[in-house]
Amino acid sequence: MRSGGAEGGFTAVLGERELAIGFRLIGIKDVIEVTPATAAAEFQKALANEAYSLVVASESVRRALTESQRAQAEGSLHPLVVFVPSPTGEYEMESLATLAKRVLGVSLQV
């Protein structure tokens, strides 16, 4: 069983072994274990795969991307790209305002 999204798309997860094991345990089948050397190429493949409506990648994958790949990920709505903390605990938190602007196209002003 693959993990389908609301519109019928699938979810892909990219990350180190510990992250991959965790997502496999909750039933996601499209899990790709990556290393720093393979992260950028595997991320690009997942982003280009039209079957995916959501790509979840660890923060270590984000650090391995080029600036243009990061910009492409931040601007992508199909698939939606979400970065999660690495198992090492090191991560960069995207602000709620930035997330809303990227996903919804709405500026939040406080």
Partners of 12 in the beta sheet? Answer: 55
- Number of compact structural domains in the chain: 1
- Which runs of E-coded beta strand occur in the chain? 10-15, 31-33, 52-58, 80-84
Average pLDDT for residues 1-26, to the nearest whole number?
79
Q: Average pLDDT over the chain, rounded to whole?
A: 83
Higher pLDDT, 109 or 31: 31
- Per residue in 43-85, pLDDT (tens digit) is 999 999 999 999 999 999 999 999 999 999 988 889 999 998 8
For residue 74, give the CATH number of its domain. 3.40.50.10580
Residue 17 CB-half CA count within 13 A: 0
DSSP category for residue 95:
P
Residue 110 lies in a domain: no
Residue 5 lies in a domain: no
pTM over 0.75: no
Residue numbers of the domain that contains 48: 10-104
Residue 109 lies in a domain: no
